[in-house]
Amino acid sequence: MIRVLVTDGMAESAVVELKTKGFEVVEQFYEPEVLGEKLKEFDVIVVRSKTKVRQPLIDKAVEAGRLKLIIRGGVGVDNIDVAYAKGKGIGVTNTPNASSGSVAELALAHMFAVSRYVNISNVSMRQGKWDNEKYEGVEIGGKTLGLVGFGRISRELAKKASALDMTVIYTNLTGKVNGFDEYEFCKLNDLLKKSDYVSLHIPFIKENGVTIGKDQLAMMKVGAFLINCARGGLIDEVALVEALDNGKLAGAGIDVFADEPTKNEALVNHPKVSVTPHIGGATKETQMRIGSEIVSIICEFFK
């Protein structure tokens, strides 16, 4: 029987479907020092963000020669040493279509929150304050949204932002994307200078370091907003707090952090910041879509 290890959770409907189709499914999180040995007992491992599948774990799994497939339930695969795993004959894939809409919605939610002080006024009212004269916000309609990266999530956000009367521009490592002429392609530096809102939608590559650091923040408009629902590490968090403190940026919406769970209290507690604990894909609909996609991947792989 083909055994599937699910370490970070999966929709119950998907677990039931896999079992119905004859797969054995074990739902259990293991610490790294234990996971390597456990992988010798499974043909497939399904992870989300919490579990990291690095070279030492892959080497342990290879000793038994049983592990054939690693699936990341979500968009990125930066928590997996993909090239190394493939070099050892282990397939690696993800579910790129499942969470595009939910992450785009969260990015938009953060844009609204920091534009209209939803984040901090919610807190102040719970403290018995009525600071209605203090929270004069800005409208997002008529503003320019700059998208850094133009994959599935970014395109979903572009569509939603356009419907809200925003002008959308984007930058992309591979250049202009065909079929999206309604949006202007820009180089990163030009995008930073033109945008009222900058939203990140790219993977974090450790070797490349931060994408938005002190120099990039300096290029942005005074009073601009920065949104990151992509990956932690893309923004220099110290430089971001400085830019918020000195008034360069009007606000930031952050769902992902350099270290998670984050201990950066200066950022989390900043009155100009809207924060969430890495919940971009945390909707019922996304979990159902991820589960269905995982079932399809496994069934196709072992047919």
Kindly report the length of the chain: 303
Q: Which of 94, 288, 77, 14 is nearest to 4 (CA)?
A: 14
Best CA proximity match to 166, nearest among 185, 148, 145: 145
Q: Which residue has the tokens 């994959």?
A: 151
Residue 290: which of 141, 13, 70, 98 has the closest Cα?
Answer: 98
Q: What CA–CA distance (Å, rounded) separates 258 from 232? A: 4
**HSE (side-chain half, CA atoms, 13 Å) at 295:** 19
- Active-site annotation, residues: 231, 260, 278
DSSP 144-201: EEEEES-SHHHHHHHHHHHHTT-EEEEE-TT-PPTT-TTSEE--HHHHHHH-SEEEE-
Count how many Cα atoms sit within 13 Å of the Cα of residue 91 in the half-sphere of its side chain. 13
